[in-house]
Amino acid sequence: MADDKKFVEKITSREEDFASWYTDVVKEAKLCDYSSVRGCLNYLPNGYAIWENIQKNLDERFKKTGVQNVSLPMLIPESLLQKEKDHIEGFAPEVAWVTKGGVEDLEEKFCIRPTSETLFCDVWQKLVKSYRDLPLVWNQWCSVLRWEKTTRPFLRSREFLWQEGHTLHATYEEAEAKTKEMFQVYYDFVTQDLAIPLICGKKTESEKFAGAEDTYTIEAMMHDGKSLQSGTSHFFGSGFPDAFNIKYLDKENQPHSCYETSWGMSTRIIGAIIMVHGDDSGLVLPPRIAPTQATIIPIAQQKEGVLEKANEVLERLQKVNIRTKLDDSEKSPGFKYSEQEMLGIPVRIELGPRDIENNECVVVRRTTREKTVISLDEIETKLPEILEEIQKEMYESAKQFLEEHIYSVTTLEEMKKIGEEKIGFIKAMWCGDPECEDKIKAETGGYGSRCIPEKQEHLSDTCVCCGKEAKEMVIWGKSY
Amino acid sequence: MADDKKFVEKITSREEDFASWYTDVVKEAKLCDYSSVRGCLNYLPNGYAIWENIQKNLDERFKKTGVQNVSLPMLIPESLLQKEKDHIEGFAPEVAWVTKGGVEDLEEKFCIRPTSETLFCDVWQKLVKSYRDLPLVWNQWCSVLRWEKTTRPFLRSREFLWQEGHTLHATYEEAEAKTKEMFQVYYDFVTQDLAIPLICGKKTESEKFAGAEDTYTIEAMMHDGKSLQSGTSHFFGSGFPDAFNIKYLDKENQPHSCYETSWGMSTRIIGAIIMVHGDDSGLVLPPRIAPTQATIIPIAQQKEGVLEKANEVLERLQKVNIRTKLDDSEKSPGFKYSEQEMLGIPVRIELGPRDIENNECVVVRRTTREKTVISLDEIETKLPEILEEIQKEMYESAKQFLEEHIYSVTTLEEMKKIGEEKIGFIKAMWCGDPECEDKIKAETGGYGSRCIPEKQEHLSDTCVCCGKEAKEMVIWGKSY
C-alpha cells in the first residue's frame, strides 16, 4: 500500500500551496526540468510529447487556412533589430548577444531572436515586388530567447518553444481580417482541443506588443483565479513594412505600402493545461492532446491468459488509432493506477481474470474516477465515445469554474474587496486612460487589464477609477 | 511560347556547369535563399515543405524503434563544452559565443550548440540513478550553428536544421547495437523514401566524429560523381558518460559506466535529393517525399465544365490522400507544365474538353515525360500505382548511375588516372595508416576515404599507396 500512495504523497495539495503544487506536478510527471543554463528548460519526453500533439493539431488548423511553414535564422544583426523604433525599445533590454564567431570578434553583433518580425520583413523586402506576390502567410515553429530574470517551468523561461506566424498583405482590411482569423484559430484550438474556456479581446495600449497597432489575446483562468495569456495575434498596419521599405506594385505599376500581422502561441500553454485541469493526484490531460489516451493495467497478470488478452486489447485499440499503452511491468496495480493518475492519462483499463471470464473490462476515468464496465466486443467503439465525453466534460467543468469566478463591479472599492476576498476576474468600466489602468492595478493588489472583450456590457457610465466617462468594459485579473 | 520556356532558360545545364545548375535550381524552385545573417539560410515554403515531409517520415521510423523526442537548450556553458577533451578541440574553433545577456556582460560565456552531446550528458547526469532508468533513447529536431567560412545552400551553412538522437545504455554491446540500428534506419529511409542508393560503412580514424569511438556513415553519389555524407551514427563507448560522471547502480547496488550513441541527419539531405534526381528542367522529387505529388493542369479552362471536372478530380484525389493541387491560374498551360517540372512535382494531370468527353485524363511523369491515359473512373487507384512506379524507377535509375561509377583499382597510378578521366567512387585497399590516407587524397586530386564498407572485397594484398600489407578495402571519393 505504501507503493500506491507514492505519487500523491509527493505532491503538495492545491489548496495548501498552489505554486508548490504546480512545480511538484511538473517534476513528478517528468515534464521538464531546469538545465545548467540558468533559466532555460530541458523539455523531457513526457512534456515534449504534449507539445508535439499541440504542434500537430494546431499546425493542421493553420494549414487549412493556407499557412505555409518556413524557417528563418536564429540570429538577428543589431542593425536589423533597430529598424523599427518601438520594437527595439521593447526587446533590446532582454536579448542575448553573440559577439564572437569561432575565434574572431564580430564586427557587428547579433542577437538571438526574441521574436522574428524583423527577419520576416528582411526576407520580404527582397521577395515582394508586385501584387502577385501577395499575400504571404508564413509560420515557423522554433525557439526564441528572452533574458528573463525570474523564471518558472513552462510559464516563463529564457528560451521557450513557440510558433510565430507572420503575414503580409496588400491592404489594411485584409491584414486586419487575417489578424482576427488567426485569433479565432487559437480560440477554437484552445477551447476544442485543450478543453480550456477563454476570455478574449483586444489588449489596451500599454499591454499590446511592441510595435503593433492592435493586439488580440486569448486568456485562460487558472485554478487559482489568475489569468494566463495563452495566445496573441498582432496587427501591425504598415509600420514594420514601411520601416523595412517593403512596397508592392499594383496592376498599374504604382507602388503601395504593405500591411502585416503576426501571431504566436508558446509552450506556456502547457502551463495552462496543468493549472486549469490538474488536481491533487497530478496532471489531467484532455484526451485530444494526451500523448497516451489509455493505459491498460492487467490485474493478476501472472495468471494464464491475462497478458495475452491485454496485448490483444492493446493491438485492437492501437488499430483504431487510440493512443494506448500496456503497463505489464512488475509494479503493483495500485502503483500503476497512481502513476496513470499522476501522468494525467485520460482513462485506465483494468483487466483481470474475472473480467476476461465475463468478456469485459473496467474503464476508469482520470477526471472523476467514474468506472464503466464495457464488453470487450465493443471496446473499439465505446472507448472513443468515453474519450469524447471526457473532453466535453473537462471543458464544461472548467467553463463553470470560469463563470463562477467572474465578478462585475462599478466602484474601485468593490474591486478592492473582491481582490481581497475572492479569486478570479473582474469586469469593470474604464475611461481609456493608462494612468487609471496603472492605479487600478496598484490599488487592487495586481488586477491588471487582461482584455477589452468584443462583446461589451454596459455596467455603468463612468470609469471605475477616475469617475470620468467610461469608454469600454475591461476584464481585469491577476496574471502569470 | 516564350512563356513556356521561362523556367528552363533560367537554369544552366548540368553538363555545362554543375555548381551553377545547382544554385539555379535552388533559386528558381524557391527552396531557400541567403539571409542578412552571413552564411545563414532562409528556408522558404517550397524547401521547408520538403523538410517537413522528411521529418514526418523519419520521425515515424524513429518512433517505431522506441525513440522519444525532447528539446534541450540552444546554449551550452563554456565549462560544459570543455568536459570532453576531443570534443572541445573539434568544435571550439567553429562555435558562436554569447557574451552579453540583456545589458549585462556574462560571467561565463555560452556557445550556441554546434551539437548537443554535452547537454544530453548534463541532463542524464542528474537523471540516471539505477539500471531501471536505462536505456534512454532520445532525439531532438532543432537547428545547430557552426561558424563555417564558406557556405552553399543546404550543403553547408552556419545554421542548419537537423535531428540529433542521443542514447544511453547499460552495456557496451547494447549501445553498439543501437548505433547500428539507427544507421540502418537512415539507410532504409534514404533508399526507400528518398530513392537514393547508398554506400555505407565505418569512417576511418581521421574522419570520425570528435569524441566518438566509431562513426558509421551513409554516403550518396551526386550526379557529378562526388559523395555527400548523408547521415552518421556514432558510438561513443563510455568516454562522454565517464567524463560527465554518469553512473548507474545495478541490481546489487554496484556502480557502472554507461555507454552512449548519437546519430544525426540534416537539411544537407535536401541537397542530395536535388543533385541525385534533378535534371536540366529543374527539381525531380521522389513521390514519397514530394510536398505536392500531382498538379492538375486544365486545358482550355475557360470552356464550360473543365474547371468543374478539374475540381472534382482534385477532391477525389485529396480524399485518398494524394497530395494534389489544381493550377487554375491564368497562366498558359505551357507555362504551368514548365513550372510543375521546375518544382519537381512527380506527375501532372492534363485535363481538357476532349479528355472529359472521353472520360479520361493524361498523366505525365516528371522523370521521363512518359504520358499515360487514364480513365477518370480509375484515377484513385491508378495514380498511386504510377507514383509508386516512379518511386521505384527513380531508385533503380540512380542505382544504375552509382554502380556505373564505382571503379576498383590496385595501384595509385590507376587511381590517379581515374581521378583525371572519370567521375565517381574508387574502391582500393588500404593499410590503415592515416598518412597513406592523406597522401592518396593529395595525389589523386581529392579522393578522400568515404567509408570502410562492412561487406569487404579483397582486391589485392597490399595498400594502394605504400605497398605494405592491406588491412581493409576503402571506398574513396571526392566529397561535398
How is residue B326 written as a grid cell?
489544381
Residues of A in contact with B100 (CB under 8 A): 96-97, 99, 109
Q: The CATH number of the domain where A422 resides is what?
A: 3.30.110.30
A73 contacts B42? CB cut-off 8 A: yes
Q: Is residue A237 part of a domain?
A: yes
The pLDDT, as a whole number, for residue B1 is: 36
Distance between CA A123 and CA A127 in Å, rounded? 6
> What are A138's strand-pairing partners?
A68, A166
Q: Is residue B397 part of a domain?
A: no
A103 contacts B101? CB cut-off 8 A: no
Q: What is the pLDDT of residues A341-394, one digit of tens each?
A: 999 999 999 999 999 999 999 999 999 999 999 999 999 999 999 999 999 999
Q: Hunting for cell 497516451 — which residue is that?
A: A292
How is residue A378 written as a grid cell?
465493443
- C-alpha distance from A341 to closest chain B C-alpha (Å): 21
> What are A168's strand-pairing partners?
A136, A260
Among candidate residues A332, A357, A386, the one where a domain is terminated: A386
**Half-sphere exposure of B33 toward its Cβ, with a 13 Å CA cutoff?**
16
Which residues 80-119 of A are in CB contact (within 8 Å) with B?
80, 93-103, 109-110, 112, 119
Among candidate residues B218, B242, B277, the one where a domain is terminated: B277
CA terminus-to-terminus distance, chain B: 38
A40 contacts B71? CB cut-off 8 A: no
Q: What is the pLDDT of residues B325-339, one digit of tens each?
A: 999 999 999 999 999
* A119 and A94 share one domain: yes
Q: Is residue A397 part of a domain?
A: no
* A247 and A323 share one domain: no
3-state secondary structure of B92: helix
Best to test chain A binding among B43, B70, B133, B151 (most A CBs inside 10 Å) = B70
Residues of A in contact with B98 (CB under 8 A): 96-99, 112
* Cis peptide preceding A135, ω within 30 of 0: yes
* A425 and A381 share one domain: no
**B1 burial type by CB count under 10 A (0-12 exposed, 13-18 middle, 19+ buried):** exposed
Residues of A in contact with B122 (CB under 8 A): 35-36
Residue B472 has pLDDT above 50, yes or no: yes
* B272 and B304 share one domain: no
Q: Hunting for cell 580514424 — which residue is that?
A: B205
Which residues 128-147 of B are in CB contact (within 8 Å) with A?
138, 142-143, 145, 147
Residues of B in contact with A159 (CB under 8 A): 73-75
How is residue B279 written as a grid cell?
535534371
- CB–CB of B189/B395 below 8 Å? no
The tally of domains found in chain A comes to: 3
The pLDDT, as a whole number, for residue B412 is: 97
Query: Which residues of chain A, if any, have pLDDT below 70?
Result: 1-6
* A352 and A424 share one domain: no
* B211 and B88 share one domain: yes
Which residues 24-83 of A are in CB contact (within 8 Å) with B?
33, 35-37, 40-45, 48-49, 51-52, 68-77, 80
Average of pLDDT values for B140-168? 96
How is residue B169 written as a grid cell?
545504455
B145 contacts A42? CB cut-off 8 A: no
- CB–CB of A33/B126 below 8 Å? yes
* B102 and B191 share one domain: yes
Backbone φ and ψ for A104, nearest 5 degrees, come out as -100, 145
3-state secondary structure of B181: helix
- C-alpha distance from B466 to closest chain A C-alpha (Å): 37
Residue B456 has pLDDT above 70, yes or no: yes
Percent of chain B with pLDDT over 90: 92
Residues of A in contact with B36 (CB under 8 A): 77, 80, 119, 122
B118 → chain A, closest CA residue? A36
Residue B89 has pLDDT above 90, yes or no: no
* A380 and A422 share one domain: no
* A191 and A335 share one domain: no
Region for residue B245 given its phi and psi (left: phi exceeds 0; alpha: psi -120 to 50; beta: otherwise): left
* Contacts of residue B206, Cβ cutoff 8 Å, sequence gap at least 6: B434, B437, B438, B449
The pLDDT, as a whole number, for residue B6 is: 64
- C-alpha distance from A229 to closest chain B C-alpha (Å): 23
The pLDDT, as a whole number, for residue A6 is: 64
Best to test chain B binding among A31, A53, A75, A141 (most B CBs inside 10 Å) = A75
* A64 and A114 share one domain: yes
- C-alpha distance from A403 to closest chain B C-alpha (Å): 36
Among candidate residues A356, A386, A416, the one where a domain is terminated: A386
Partner residue facing A73 (CB), from B68, B74, B159: B159
- C-alpha distance from A132 to closest chain B C-alpha (Å): 11
The pLDDT, as a whole number, for residue A104 is: 87
A69 contacts B48? CB cut-off 8 A: yes
Higher per-residue confidence, B6 vs A73: A73
- C-alpha distance from A51 to closest chain B C-alpha (Å): 10
- C-alpha distance from B459 to closest chain A C-alpha (Å): 43
- C-alpha distance from B331 to closest chain A C-alpha (Å): 12
The pLDDT, as a whole number, for residue A86 is: 80
Distance between CA B477 and CA B137 in Å, rounded? 33
Q: The CATH number of the domain where A44 resides is what?
A: 3.30.930.10
Q: Is residue B64 part of a domain?
A: yes
Q: Is residue B8 part of a domain?
A: no
Give the pairing type, strands A371-375 and A406-408.
unpaired
* B207 and B310 share one domain: no
A112 contacts B71? CB cut-off 8 A: no
- C-alpha distance from B93 to closest chain A C-alpha (Å): 5
**A338 burial type by CB count under 10 A (0-12 exposed, 13-18 middle, 19+ buried):** buried
Partner residue facing B37 (CB), from A68, A77, A99: A77
Q: Is residue B4 part of a domain?
A: no
- C-alpha distance from A191 to closest chain B C-alpha (Å): 26
Q: Is residue B253 part of a domain?
A: yes
The pLDDT, as a whole number, for residue A93 is: 86
The answer, for A466 touching chain B at a CB cutoff of 8 Å, is no
The pLDDT, as a whole number, for residue A5 is: 54
The pLDDT, as a whole number, for residue B5 is: 54
Residues of B in contact with A80 (CB under 8 A): 36
Structural domain boundaries enclosing A84: 3-277
Q: What is the pLDDT of residues A123-148, one digit of tens each?
A: 999 999 999 999 999 999 999 999 98
- CB–CB of A116/A162 below 8 Å? no
B99 contacts A74? CB cut-off 8 A: no
CA terminus-to-terminus distance, chain A: 38
Q: Is residue A382 part of a domain?
A: yes
Which helix or strand (DSSP H or E) is residue B384 part of? Answer: helix B379-404
* A416 and A332 share one domain: no
B33 contacts A126? CB cut-off 8 A: yes
Mean pLDDT taken over chain B: 95
A147 contacts B45? CB cut-off 8 A: no
Best to test chain B binding among A64, A98, A108, A330 (most B CBs inside 10 Å) = A98
Strands (E), A53-145: 68-69, 75-77, 96-101, 104-112, 136-145
A123 contacts B37? CB cut-off 8 A: no
* Contacts of residue B139, Cβ cutoff 8 Å, sequence gap at least 6: B62, B67, B68, B69, B70, B163, B164, B165, B166
The pLDDT, as a whole number, for residue B4 is: 45
Partner residue facing A122 (CB), from B35, B71, B159: B35
The pLDDT, as a whole number, for residue A367 is: 98
